[in-house]
Structure 1
Amino acid sequence: MRLLPSLLAVAVGSSFAIQANEAESSVERITVQGDFRQQSVQQLSGSIAVVSEQDVKRTSAQHLDDLLNQFANVNFTAGASRGRYIQVRGIGERSEFVDTINPSVGILIDGIEYSGLGISGISDLAQLEVFRGPEATRFGANALAGMVNLTTKGPTATPEGKFSTTLANYDSRQLAGQFSNSLNEQVGYSLALEQQYSDGFIDNAYLNRDDTNNIDEFTGRFKLRYQPLDTLALQLITHFVDQDNGYDAFSLDRNRTTLSDEPGQDQIRSKAVALQADYSGLPFATVLAQLSWLTADSDYGFDEDWSYAGIHPDEYSTTDRYLRNRDQLTLDYRFISTPEGKLGNSDWAFGLYAANKSFDLTRQFWNWDLWQADSFVSALNRTNAALYGELSIPLNTHWTLVSGLRLERYDDEYSDSSGNAIENHDTMWGAKLSLNYQVNQQALVYLLASRGYKAGGVNGDALSKAADGNLTELLSKASFKPETLYNAELGVKGSALDQSITARVAAFYMWRDDMQVKGWLNPDSGPQFAGFIDNAGSGRNYGIEMENRLQLNPQLAVSLSASWLKTKLGNYITLEGDDFSGREQAQAPRFQYSLAADWYITDALLFNISLQGKDAFYYSDGHNAQSERYELLGARLSYQLNNWELALWTRNALDQDIGVRGFYFGNDPRDGYEPHVYEQFAEPRRFGVTASYQF
């Protein structure tokens, strides 16, 4: 732990280097969009990482998967064509099969909730923020461990546009365009379109194809801003995503060559509309409101045996398919105090939140008890209502006490084709208390305590298997309880006036109560599995994370983010009798780091290089299979000529096999179904060229 004092010293030392207070207002600052008030990241308590459009270009990122490795204490899993589930500080889901789960780490795009759906298209990214630690006051039940908040580009006062095209190996192509303008002083608009295609990184030897795990995604976003009054601004946001990806990722030979005769699919078609209002006509507060609606249909399926008919006399040959429909309507109504509306000298925020979400599932699978094709249908309707508020009390010119509270109620109505009809409900609360010492506008020391929560739910898969009469032990797992997370955090943020040094460090200790873990029951070691969510007694997660940037000279800048994490499962014994009490939690690597350098060789020629590393981690809380430690090397060389830019790039230049999902069981009849660690791998070595024109 000697590292902590030295890091704090760097941050505090850089902050005290600031001398010219009268010049501070002229310094460009990163403004956090996801907070109640748009504040500089250096003035906001909590561990927040921010990525801009320039950061995306540095790594030639084309998807959220390509960005997440540069964040300290952030991990993700795939289990589909894309990484869809995010873990922060070792906490987060890894999959969603039969049972609907409340995500521990949510995803917002322009204020619309996409948790569990992932992100398609980041070419129009304006800013991406990763909140680490419980953020219940701001975001509610979907931010037990953190929140990913993405803001896309919007209307502009003058015409602005960008068009880009990318060609890469594995027959990969990307075409993207954005344009924004104003019709007059009151009306502005923006439009962003993107199409991505790739054969994917799998060879199917049985079908003699290399595109069974392909990527085929279209994303469209449109914004219309209207300001009828000086005190009122309205914005209409529309999103459309058409994802028609293949899914053929797991190999019996545990490599990138599959034998599936019925490769699966990972299709999502979603539409979303949001209406935002910003009203400043009240003397005491600004009113921010958003009404949003989203509908998504998904078709996710795979070849369950990962092989073909005739591979072995002891084979089985089945598929598993999940057809989902999701509809959600949310309302967030927020009052933010103005200088005239302060309580004494204290700023405040107060909000109302309401949501109605429905999740309908049809699963088509092989019923091993009936020895025939079967289906399972379930419906979950969830309503949420919440009150929340935050109060910021200045104690003197440097010290501020910030407190926040959120009360949230959820009511579930669940039914399924097995005859189950269950109603669940609970009232949950989250809070924060932060003592901030603002050295000046660019340096902050804070001590934070926060409480987060996530909703419980119904184990529909366990109930349906128990109804079949063979797995009656699953009756004890009919439902699972909400989880609570307590967080204590000490953080330091500092930057030099000229931004030549920026440092952010946070040390934290988190206690998980009624920790939700994924459990599996496989009583006969055959192909039949029953999945369910279980509650372990408790869990502990503690560690440190930092982000630093150093401008060595006008031509060279170096960035470093790193984290160290220690986790521990509480009392957890599976239904099969395996005792994992005290073991490290899943998806929680001990260390992560990201080192990057930007070198302006000339005014027009820029070279970027990055190295990311991650320690091994367990794939699940229910078995001991682990990933391999790895390093990712990337580079980019770009040339700017007037409005044109040409870039040559590579990702995973060392061509390492990076596991993004892992299971441990037997699935190969050729060796008598001996258990193995089966992994889905991220992209191999990539290289390509990108040309763009911006005006």
Structure 2
Amino acid sequence: MRFIPSLITLTMAIPVVATAEQINLDAASLERIEVQGDFRRHSVQQLSGSIAVLTDDDVKRTSAQHLDDLLHQFANVNYTSGASRGRYLQVRGVGERSEYSDTINPSVGVLIDGIDYSGMGISAIHDIAQIEVFRGPEATRFGANALAGMLNLTTKGPSIAPEGKFSATLANYDSYQLAGLFSNAINDSLGFSLALEQQTSDGFIENGYLNRNDTNNIDEFTARFKLRYQVNQHLMLQLVTHLVDQDNGFDAFSLDNNRTTLSDEPGQDIIRSKALALQAEYTGAEYFTAFGQISWLDANSDYGFDEDWAYAGIHPDEYISTDRYLRDREQLSVDYRLVSTPEGKLGNSDWVFGIYAANKQFDLTRIVFHKNRQFDNELIRRNLAAYAELTTPLNPGWSVITGLRAERYDDDYADTSGNQIQNHDTMWGAKLSLNYQVNQQALIYLLASRGYKVGGVNGEALSKAKDNDLAALQTKASFAPETLYNAEFGVKGSALDQSVVARVAAFYMWRDDMQVKGWLNPNSGPEFSGFIDNAGSGRNYGIEMENRIQVNSHLAVFISASWLKTKLGNYTTIAGDDFTGREQAQAPRFQYSVAADWYITEPLTFNISLQGKDEFFYSDGHSARSSRYELVNLRLSYQLEQWNLALWSRNALDKDIGVRGFYFGNDPRDGYEAHTYEQFAEPRRIGVSASYQF
């Protein structure tokens, strides 16, 4: 690891060699990427914490059409599928991998325009203006959904003059994408933006039994609308509306562990969601600026699959089953905060104070065909939180940031097995950051933070314990909240002309009452009972870096990399397997991304990226691993006035990349011998895109 101290030294040295005259240059020479998700807008180079930002240019570089296509670019970020799209995120090795009968609280949340989409999966990114990845606990800012981090997405909004972009893409696997974005001002105080997108694909699976190639298809429509109203000099209102209509198939797992399935009843991954948010900003008070948001989301999903992965008649010892989850989710949340103005400082400290409240209801109907069994449950969760943050300058260049959030949650749970359980707890999160702003181009920080996420009820385990009289499952009725402590040291630096930008962070995280996924196989067959358990503790530590180098006017290079070491604390599964001291799931030891933009001529650009990831365990409850992989993306684009034409390839080397894995027996042809079964990401993609922008 000799490169680590060398890199830190280089990063610190970049701006230090500048002359005093250069240091006093206007701030316009600084990198202009501002983080939208923090309490105040800051340049990513001047904000303590490990934060990665992707803009529209980064989306184009890899010809990304979905968030899945972008996540490989982030250091220490991973994801799990188990559905038609990647749905569950992990940061620094922390995060969930599935949600079946029991409602989970994600360790890594997702916000789109301030609306909580955590655990739902995301469709369109065509109108995304910026994607921010907060790595490490962000409880003060985001609460219980940011135990390990947060993805904050901001879409493009209204403009003061007519602006638009229309694009079309054709690709292999009978894929196409149509997208449009238009924004304008109706008058001096009212403006709007509208974004529409349709994606369609046959998917990447051949169903050998049905002789079809579209059982894992993609069919997604997304609409987003913003209306911004400047009421007067001091008050701005914005209405945000989202609509998602996803009608995807789900037929991803094969008994032969390849892309050819034998299912006679392929599954589905359907989501219908609509969301509204009303945002307000008031600047008329002398001592503070007031921000507020009320948001509502209603989502219905139908997720199911052929549980036996085969057809009737494949073997005399077969079983035939489908598993289906009908889930309704409705949430209402309010978030109000006051942010100090220069006149409103406490002494010489800037401050933030806010309150947050949410009411969420989750209704589930699970239908298991071979048992002719239906299981219903309902969870109502109420959250109430107060938070505050102080930024205190100490002397020239030095400052301290202190943040605190206290949150109460109350759960009411009921199901068809007669279980009625109430859970509640009061949790708290905090941050303490010591910052040294060497000059406008360099920041050194030392950060300590505490994150949390709520506990819950193992309703499926309780119901099966009653059905099968299993005392072991009866002990897993509930699981406790988890706490994560993080210590972090970081350095950020950039050259005055922005030819070099570098960020590096080293961290050590301690997980207490770590939540892990447990499984019990009561009848030694293909049916499993899942539940969430608490391991004693966990350790996660490592380093992550991001660099941009403008070699010359024709060549720019982008490098991100991470190294991660994780360990489970005292953890023995309900089946008696001891995994104490083993690496945690979804935690590859290294990841990297190297990309280059080569401007061959003024209109002609060639983009290439190489991304790699080490192998990792798929679960904390078994030892199945993914394979290490390298991913190559290519793009050749031509700019002709307002037109852009591109020929591209993703996963150009056609690698099989595992995005979900299980270890159990599901094949009657070999006596249900246990195997590692994997779901694979997209194979080689080749396509052409055309866009018109004005």
- Shorter-chain TM-score tier: over 0.9
Q: State the distance in 1 between where 2:328 and 2:18 align.
A: 54
C-alpha separation between the residues in 1 aligned to 2:353 and 2:669?
A: 62
The residue that corresponds to 1:398 in the other structure is 397
Secondary structure of 1:140's aligned partner: helix
Displacement of 1:331 after TM fit? Answer: 0.3
Distance in 2 between the 1:269 and 1:377 partners? 20
CA deviations 1:125-182 (Å, max 9, x no partner) are 1000000000000000000000000000000000000000000000000000000000
Match for residue 114 of structure 1?
A: 117
1:591-631: per-residue Cα shift (whole Å, max 9, x none)?
A: 00000000000010000000000000000000000000000
2:454 is the counterpart of 1:451 = no
Q: 1:227 aligns with which of 207, 214, 230?
A: 230
Is the contact made by 1:17 and 1:496 (CA closer than 8 Å) also made in structure 2? no
1:591 alignment counterpart: 590
TM-superposed CA distance for 1:344, in Å, is 1.4
Partners in 2 of 1:637 and 1:35 — Cα distance?
36
Which residue number corresponds to residue 284 of structure 1? 287
Please report how far the alpha carbon of residue 575 of structure 1 lies from its aligned counterpart in structure 2 after TM superposition: 0.8
For the pair 1:79 / 2:82, whether they are aligned, the reply is yes
> Could you tell me the percent identity over the aligned residues?
75
Return the alpha-carbon distance in structure 1 between the equivalents of residues 558 and 114 of structure 2. Answer: 29
Residue 648 (structure 1) aligns with: 647
Give me the whole-angstrom Cα distance separating, in 2, the residues matched to 1:442 and 1:115: 34
How far is 1:226 from its partner?
Answer: 0.3
Matched to 1:22, the amino acid is: N
8 Å CA contact 1:454–1:483 kept in 2: the answer is yes
Match 1:304 to one of 296, 300, 307: 307
2:518 maps to amino acid:
G
Tell me what 1:336 maps to.
339
Q: Determine if contact 1:523/1:576 at 8 Å carries over to the other structure.
A: no
Preserved contact between residue 624 and residue 676 of structure 2 (Cα < 8 Å): yes
Partner letter of residue 253 of structure 2? F
Q: Which moved more, 1:470-479 or 1:507-516?
A: 470-479
1:440 shift after superposition: 1.3
Deviations 1:76-104 (A, max 9, x none): 00000000100000000000001101000
Q: Which residue is 1:26 aligned to?
A: 28
Q: CA deviation at 1:397?
A: 1.2
TM-align CA RMSD: 0.7
- CA deviation string 1:410-436 (max 9, x = no partner): 000000000000000000000000000
Equivalent residue letter for 2:262: L
Residue 427 of structure 2 corresponds to 428
Take 1:216 and 1:17, find their aligned partners in 2: how far apart are those partners?
A: 54
**Structure 2 residue 328 is the aligned partner of structure 1 residue 325:** yes
CA-CA distance at 1:9 after TM superposition: 1.1
Asked if structure 1 preserves the Cα contact closer than 8 Å seen for 2:230 and 2:237, the reply is yes
Q: 1:366, CA displacement in angstroms?
A: 3.7
Shift of residue 472, structure 1, vs aligned partner: 2.5
User: Would the alpha carbon gap of residues 18 and 196 (structure 1) be closer, same or farther in structure 2, given more than 3 Å must change?
Assistant: farther
8 Å contact kept, 1:273–1:294: yes
Which residue of structure 1 aligns with residue 7 of structure 2?
7
SS at match of 1:272: strand
* TM-score between the two structures when normalised by the length of structure 2: 0.99
Q: Verify: 1:678 aligned to 2:681, yes or no.
A: no
The offset of 1:18, in angstroms, is: 3.7
> SS at the partner of 2:24?
helix
Trace 1:359-508 onto structure 2 (pairs within 5 A): 359-366=362-369, 372-508=371-507
| CA–CA distance in structure 2, aligned partners of residues 312 and 21 of structure 1 | 75
Give the superposition deviation at 1:495: 0.4
CA–CA separation in structure 2 for the residues paired with 1:146 and 1:74 = 10
Q: How far off its partner does 1:523 sit?
A: 2.8
Trace 1:90-109 onto structure 2 (pairs within 5 A): 90-109=93-112
Matched residues in 2 for 1:331 and 1:112: separation?
Answer: 10
Q: Conserved in 1, the CA contact under 8 Å of 2:254 and 2:262?
A: yes
Secondary structure of the 1:108 match is strand
Counterpart in 2 of 1:164? Answer: 167
Q: Is the 8 A contact 2:241 2:277 kept in 1?
A: yes
Cα separation, 2, equivalents of 1:510 and 1:240: 38
Helix, strand or coil at the partner of 1:23: coil
Q: Quick check: 1:409–1:428 contact (8 Å CA) kept in 2?
A: yes
Residues 24 and 497 in structure 1, CA contact (< 8 A), matched pair in contact too: no
Residues in 2 aligned to 1:218 and 1:93: alpha-carbon distance in whole angstroms: 26
- Aligned AA for 1:171? D
What is the alpha-carbon distance in structure 1 between the residues aligned to residue 577 and residue 15 of structure 2? Answer: 50
Q: Conserved in 1, the CA contact under 8 Å of 2:526 and 2:664?
A: no
Give, in whole Å, the separation in 1 of the partners of 2:234 and 2:208: 63
The amino acid that maps onto 2:235 is L
CA distance in 2, matches of 1:152, 1:542: 33
| Partner residue, 1:260 | 263
> CA offsets, 1:282-302, max 9 Å, x none?
100000100000000000000
2:57 is paired with a residue whose SS is helix
> In structure 1, what is the equivalent of residue 212 of structure 2?
209
More deviation, 631-640/470-479: 470-479
1:131 aligns with 2:145: no
1:340 alignment partner, SS class? helix
Offset at 1:524?
2.7
Q: Please identify, of 531-540 and 521-530, the stretch whose mean Cα deviation from structure 2 is larger.
A: 521-530
* Residue identity opposite 2:26 in structure 1: E
Of residues 12, 33, 46, the one that matches 2:49 is 46
Residue by residue, what CA displacement relative to the aligned partner does 1:623-669 show, whole Å, maximum 9, x if unpaired? 00000000000010000000000000000011000000000000000
Deviations 1:503-535, CA, capped at 9 Å, x for gaps: 000000000000000000003320221000000
Query: What is the CA-CA distance between 1:471 and the residue it aligns to?
Result: 2.4
CA contact (8 A) 1:410 1:425 kept: yes
Task: Name 2:38's counterpart in structure 1.
Answer: 35
User: Which residue identity is paired with 1:215?
Assistant: I
Unaligned segments of structure 2, at least 5 residues = none
1-structure distance, mates of 2:629, 2:461: 36
C-alpha separation in 2, matches of 1:375 and 1:449:
47
The alignment partner of 2:73 has SS state of: coil
The CA distance in 1 between the partners of 2:418 and 2:18, in whole Å, is 67
